[in-house]
């Protein structure tokens, strides 16, 4: 399959189309502001060349309207681009409610994905078309960066914390995914494919994977870890003397001792497990031990998946 030289990656989402319009328009503006400079430069070099007898007296030194327009017009244009680009960027930071959340763990040199129903995959990521997908990402070793050229999105994947990406791919197909941060010897091989499927095909794919491997859903695995590690001894609904109950916590604001407020998102919950005394809930003492050496990244993902459920179902 020969496509010749590709200047512009395929567009697999509405966001990709918006980004391309921004880039193309910005390119047009740069031409608009730069081209006249070169045109007049060449014109004047030609007109006032040495052998030419022309009037070389000083021309008028001042023209207010010319000066106002050549500073005012570029200023307004660049401000328009600033607002346009910022609003696109802000969209990337705000995932819609109830996305399909997929966990991503990067390591030298592979991408590990886990779907909420349980199926795992390496380097390939299957997603349904026309549905918001949110990636909650972390790294087991060094900084990586997950890059989807066809979606025009990219985000660093950092050990010790979560970063997020979201997208709504609307065109079924197979698109490249890459690591965009030099992460060691085999960095250039760290990639795979984003496979965008119709909703029904995706469901079928999930069922088939589940039939082959039968991975427990992260929430179920999390419920088991919660039980096995005795979390409920302190975090239970009937007795909140030592620790807050966790049912219904996800996504709600939490008041911390010291007066600050935080939203209990994935990043907050992760810190609460790994560095429990960094942010202590108001009214409680910092007595929870760290589980940093107990759980690996996939187990923390599982615990958080469990905390997102109503928790009762899994008991």
Nearer to ligand CUA among residue 125 and residue 305 (C-beta)? 125
CA angle (48, 51, 54) in 5-degree steps: 45
Shortest CB 113 distance to ligand CUA, Å = 14
Nearer to ligand CUA among residue 189 and residue 277 (C-beta)? 189
Shortest CB 111 distance to ligand CUA, Å = 8
Pick from 135, 96, 95, 132: nearest CA to 112: 135
Nearer to ligand CUA among residue 133 and residue 190 (C-beta)? 190
Tokens in use for 213?
């491997």
Which residues contact ligand CUA (rule: CB under 6 A)? 109, 144, 179, 181-183, 187, 190
Shortest CB 159 distance to ligand CUA, Å = 12
Nearer to ligand CUA among residue 187 and residue 314 (C-beta)? 187
Shortest CB 50 distance to ligand CUA, Å = 57
Shortest CB 153 distance to ligand CUA, Å = 16
What backbone torsions phi and psi does residue 2 show, to the nearest 5 degrees? -105, 125
Shortest CB 101 distance to ligand CUA, Å = 22
Number of residues assigned to the chain: 315
Nearer to ligand CUA among residue 146 and residue 217 (C-beta)? 146
Shortest CB 125 distance to ligand CUA, Å = 15
Nearer to ligand CUA among residue 106 and residue 223 (C-beta)? 106
Nearer to ligand CUA among residue 31 and residue 182 (C-beta)? 182
């Amino acid at each position: 399959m020969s496509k010749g030289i590709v200047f512009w990656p395929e567009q697999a989402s509405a966001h990709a189309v918006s980004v391309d319009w921004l880039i193309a328009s910005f390119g047009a503006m740069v031409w608009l502001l730069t081209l006249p400079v070169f045109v007049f430069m060449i014109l004047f070099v030609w007109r006032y060349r040495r052998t030419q007898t022309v009037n070389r007296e000083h021309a008028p030194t001042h023209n207010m309207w010319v000066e106002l327009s050549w500073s005012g017009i570029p200023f307004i244009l660049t401000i328009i681009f600033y607002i346009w680009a910022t609003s696109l960027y802000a969209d990337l930071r705000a995932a819609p409610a109830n996305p399909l959340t997929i966990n991503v763990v990067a390591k030298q040199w592979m991408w590990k994905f886990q779907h909420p129903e349980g199926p795992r995959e390496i380097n390939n990521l299957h997603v349904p078309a026309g549905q918001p997908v949110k990636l909650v990402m972390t790294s087991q070793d060094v900084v990586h960066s997950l890059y989807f050229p066809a979606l025009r999105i990219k985000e660093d994947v950092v050990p010790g914390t979560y970063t997020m990406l979201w997208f709504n791919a609307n065109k079924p197909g197979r698109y490249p995914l890459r690591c965009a941060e030099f992460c060691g010897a085999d960095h250039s091989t760290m990639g795979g494919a984003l496979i965008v499927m119709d909703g029904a095909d995706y469901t079928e794919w999930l069922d088939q994977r589940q039939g082959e491997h039968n991975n427990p859903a992260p929430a179920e695995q999390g419920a088991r870890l919660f039980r096995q590690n005795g979390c409920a001894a302190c975090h239970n609904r009937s007795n909140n003397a030592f620790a807050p109950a966790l049912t219904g916590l996800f996504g709600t604001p939490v008041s911390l001792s010291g007066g600050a407020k935080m939203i209990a998102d994935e990043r907050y919950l992760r810190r609460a497990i790994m560095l429990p005394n960094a942010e202590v809930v108001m009214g409680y003492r910092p007595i929870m031990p760290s589980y940093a050496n107990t759980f690996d990244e996939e187990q923390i993902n599982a615990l958080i998946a469990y905390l997102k459920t109503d928790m009762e179902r899994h008991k």
